[in-house]
Structure 1
């Protein structure tokens, strides 16, 4: 197993894992190879096709991968997931065909040579083992030809990848320059002017609103929205029956079964069967009570094969006795070494037990665990009640009951969210899973109650109504939005004018304190200073300052205008970054540039190989 594990860490092992066990991550592309193709196509890419089975397998694998990283399953955006997987599969088909067209292939001799170098396929003497290789193929469910085909295809893609990504160039001189820029610093004073302070100085006329509307009419769209009714349920709000003594006993039995390995007592048994089994067991027990040796009696009377060895059955394991485990446990309770139990009726017959060895480890008594068992029983009952309630509401939703009817029957409150939007949703139910269900075509058309949607703290059911699709706003509906936009634009112009007027009067650090507005002294800062917005960060080092003076810079921002006053730029004489770190930085940048080149190349391939997507099959695959 260790050698197999090492093999899976090697290049052929990783290839096989990627192709056979998980979504293929090739250059940021998620794909998934399938040996068998489904006649129902999702897409045709040049001469290759993407089957429904291939697509669904890739989606499921990618979904599983993402859910392992997400704290809340409702945060998964199914629309984005499907789009990314489809694009990944198409990208892979494009690259596969181009690699074949360019003659990029790997010979059997090369694959054989690489496989023979793998430690996982070598025997104890270090030689390639055909037996280990054959065992691996059997475990993988692949023939040698299939394995070679998989490797050849992947290595051909690697060749094409290297020829695209590997050509990216980012010289060390550029790295040095970039590092030098990051090492620059200067003293900075900052003042921001809010456009809202100038709104009383501007006005927006109806003519200006009309002109803006006529110019931007096509971009003035309403949002898709519904009025959303919903009910929610969480484990904490479910009514739970009180914990009974039977519940506690069940938890104790379950505990003993799970902790059976903690009971170190070793047992022997005598088994008798037949119509007179009860009488025979009673007679045997009487003889044992009078001093008969248990092992001798087992050899003479036990009908179990263990009788010939004195009846020894090892440690007690409740699972062996199934539904009779409780009766056996009761008979064994408190038995010490050499003591004999009363006859116990089980599905095997009548059994008599004795303890042959006891290392002293005992299962705690019920009373000593009562508090913990009661708490566990309460949790179990709550989880069960919650699951039952979720199932009951799902059944009502499936039967076509309205939200109001379901709420009334289940004792829940209907909550309504007015103007629930598909995009930029900021409500309590902004999770992508909920939004997608609320705007599902079927749900909207039938105004149906969805099945339960799991969110972080429970489950919700939603019912959309009053659907308003995206549409171009009328002048009347767009007026308020346009007025606000124009008001901000005009007020921002005044803020910028004021900022420029102030900046003109600042030539030295002493001038800063003479202004009617207060500047914030940030001290010596670098380009990474957290006090800056992105726009301000670029402005702060955009111009040099006179040797004994300062430079005052102005920029329009989202909130109005910013004035940045800065003295001459200083650069550290020694870089804290080693040559090795510089080389690593250059390599990282080259990889990023290479990925950009790859995306450009994929766009080029889309011009060469026609891509057709079967929208109907795609909709079916997405459950629409």
Structure 2
């Protein structure tokens, strides 16, 4: 099957497919490899009888929204993260994930619990100061709707699915002919000279009449379309707004510390490393035991012998555990060790372990100086949280039927914020949030003038809003775009005036004139661009793009072209040489890196083909809820 798909996915077409598929993977993240994980009984789809629930879909949509926000920040287009926009593609990915997971299961792939646990402990969201934190882990799972029993199972399924995907994509390769063809195009170089005839110096002399402005406005109405817009005022409630005004006394901090010290119970965090021997290979176990008995370095032995690929390169380092991260027998053996001591062989479902205790933390009562900052922050946050809860319980009543949110904001002790007008595509800041946009454009808020319901934006962030301005969709009035039209018309006139000079200069070049001297005579600067490749920004990007649209000069020596840039400047360009990219001219390191990149792209293309093939064979049924 793979070979037949390889035959149909070679060449530049494969790279284009791979590039697109790679983008989907990047945007999808781990949710691409996530499928039914239990939860709500409402199925949105069934894949070979396996349900994908509405909870699975909501989790995946939220994860995708968070990933997009991390890429775009506050400037994320609201339409890009709306549930309506994401629902269909995310559900499609969940279906594909389910198909792939079933294929992985049918192929007999498994994942050791040691690797699963290690991956969990290395997730940054579950760490504090770079170390695994059990409370952070539990809090994170609770927010995601998981528990400590279900999450490792979901993680295991994802890792197995990733293993299956890697087994497909890692089998791909790129031929030298493919590489040569791609390099010839992507690394093509061109030599050219150019001079820019700017319109700036002429703009002051250009005259534009009122009739010209009106005629341009009437004939370019599409340029001046204005979407329906609203501006809002809003109250945002979050604990951080109240924390800044909370004063925590030294006495309160000291009292809290004394209580902590009196109730302190040592909760040691043990730093573990291991050497894993899968399948309990007796010969290999004996060999490792012999070398440990001889005093050989544990970390070096882990790199050589451990079957845990995830930790072996780190000397077997698994990070910290408070006693419930690793299998029970593993934790018991670890707890019985002294720092620096190595256990006898310990068997778990993953195989046989040699366990080393690297260190222990959390066995002594911390000093007041060590705890002061953390206690102060906790007390401040606790008071701020209470004030937030109080404000949240009052805001709906205070804002109900309010003509303005100024009074409620003062009553709650928070600022009243406003936005500039924005469309249904969203604006900046809070106006990019899909819930805010939806509420602002709802008929009861936008048309009836009501205050919105309290919107839960997540992570203890709530908003209530009113529309302060509503602009119907239409065309910007001439007065608002007049300056823009005048500038455009002046640039067009100046550009047309310069076009004759540009063509005259181009003709002189075609007749063999010296470009540098001719340019200097007209107070222009000739720029030389040798060994230039595709790309670039602004006006230079436009010039490079035009240079690469020209035919190669061949035996004629050079070709001359004149054209206008987007801002009206005229350009005279002389193309002197075109050289296709040559793989052979790259260094051995560059060739190896390029072939690796192309193989990776080909691997992604093959993975896409496998997914398409498996999905075509699968029995996939969308429920009525999934079709919504």
* TM-score, normalised via structure 1 length: 0.53
Aligned mate of 2:36, from 33, 42, 58: 33
For the pair 1:193 / 2:201, whether they are aligned, the reply is no
Q: Separation in 2 of the partners of 1:34 and 1:23? A: 22
Specify the alignment match of 2:233 in structure 1: 229
Specify the alignment match of 2:466 in structure 1: 463
For the pair 1:86 / 2:91, whether they are aligned, the reply is no
Q: Is the 8 A contact 2:232 2:419 kept in 1?
A: yes
Deviations 1:505-537 (CA, angstroms, capped at 9, x unpaired): 344343354342332635534215757643222
Aligned mate of 2:514, from 508, 518, 523: 508
For the pair 1:405 / 2:413, whether they are aligned, the reply is no
For the pair 1:553 / 2:557, whether they are aligned, the reply is no
SS at match of 1:558: coil
Q: Is the 8 A contact 2:451 2:464 kept in 1?
A: no
Structure 1 residues 34 and 209: CA distance shift in structure 2, 3 A: farther
Q: Separation in 2 of the partners of 1:439 and 1:497? A: 53
Q: Separation in 2 of the partners of 1:473 and 1:613? A: 43
Tell me, which stretches of 5 or more residues in structure 1 are unaligned?
1-21, 122-138, 263-360, 619-624
Structure 1 residues 550 and 207: CA distance shift in structure 2, 3 A: closer
Matches within 5 A, 1:287-306: none
Structure 1 residues 27 and 51: CA distance shift in structure 2, 3 A: closer
SS at match of 1:559: coil
Q: Is the 8 A contact 2:194 2:528 kept in 1?
A: yes
Q: Separation in 2 of the partners of 1:255 and 1:520? A: 77
Structure 1 residues 105 and 60: CA distance shift in structure 2, 3 A: closer
Q: Separation in 2 of the partners of 1:592 and 1:385? A: 51
1:83 positional shift: 4.5
Matches within 5 A, 1:131-530: 172-173=176-177, 175-181=179-185, 182=187, 184-186=189-191, 188-191=193-196, 193-194=198-199, 197-198=202-203, 200-201=205-206, 203=208, 206=211, 209=214, 213=218, 217=221, 220-231=224-235, 234-235=240-241, 238-254=244-260, 260=266, 363=365, 366=368, 369=369, 375-401=373-399, 402=402, 403-423=405-425, 425=427, 429=430, 431-432=432-433, 436=437, 439-441=440-442, 443-444=445-446, 445-448=448-451, 451=454, 462-471=465-474, 489-506=492-509, 507-519=513-525, 521-522=527-528, 524-528=530-534, 530=536
Q: Separation in 2 of the partners of 1:517 and 1:595? A: 58
1:256 positional shift: 6.6
Specify the alignment match of 2:276 in structure 1: none
Structure 1 residues 82 and 539: CA distance shift in structure 2, 3 A: same
Q: Is the 8 A contact 1:393 1:406 kept in 2?
A: no
Q: Separation in 1 of the partners of 2:501 and 2:426? A: 34
Q: Is the 8 A contact 2:46 2:622 kept in 1?
A: yes
Deviations 1:77-97 (CA, angstroms, capped at 9, x unpaired): 585252454222554598799
Q: Separation in 2 of the partners of 1:429 and 1:496? A: 47
Q: Which structure has more RCO (C-alpha within 8 Å, separation ≥ 6)?
A: 2
Q: Is the 8 A contact 1:226 1:466 kept in 2?
A: yes
Aligned mate of 1:576, from 586, 606, 628: 586
Q: Is the 8 A contact 1:31 1:88 kept in 2?
A: no
Deviations 1:409-466 (CA, angstroms, capped at 9, x unpaired): 134443444534444735x655445853663525435542564777999987543222
Deviations 1:115-154 (CA, angstroms, capped at 9, x unpaired): 2x75859xxxxxxxxxxxxxxxxx77999xxx99xx99x9
Aligned mate of 2:545, from 533, 538, 542: 538
SS at match of 2:87: helix
Q: Separation in 2 of the partners of 1:364 and 1:390? A: 31
How many matched pairs?
453
Deviations 1:243-276 (CA, angstroms, capped at 9, x unpaired): 14133221343367568469xxxxxxxxxxxxxx
Structure 1 residues 73 and 487: CA distance shift in structure 2, 3 A: closer
Q: Separation in 2 of the partners of 1:76 and 1:474? A: 26
Q: Separation in 1 of the partners of 2:252 and 2:453? A: 37
SS at match of 1:191: strand
1:73 positional shift: 8.2
Larger Rg: 1
Q: Which moved more, 1:169-178 or 1:234-243?
A: 169-178
Q: Separation in 2 of the partners of 1:84 and 1:240? A: 41
1:569 positional shift: 2.4
Q: Is the 8 A contact 2:422 2:431 kept in 1?
A: no
1:229 positional shift: 1.8
Q: Separation in 2 of the partners of 1:513 and 1:381? A: 72
Structure 1 residues 468 and 485: CA distance shift in structure 2, 3 A: same
* TM-score, normalised via structure 2 length: 0.52
Matches within 5 A, 1:108-127: 114-115=107-108, 120=112
Structure 1 residues 591 and 467: CA distance shift in structure 2, 3 A: farther
SS at match of 1:514: helix
Q: Which moved more, 1:399-408 or 1:479-488?
A: 479-488
Deviations 1:517-571 (CA, angstroms, capped at 9, x unpaired): 3326355342157576432222234354588976543333222235254563264
Q: Separation in 1 of the partners of 2:377 and 2:30? A: 46
Q: Which moved more, 1:72-81 or 1:386-395?
A: 72-81
Deviations 1:31-65 (CA, angstroms, capped at 9, x unpaired): 73366885586x999x9998644532432444466
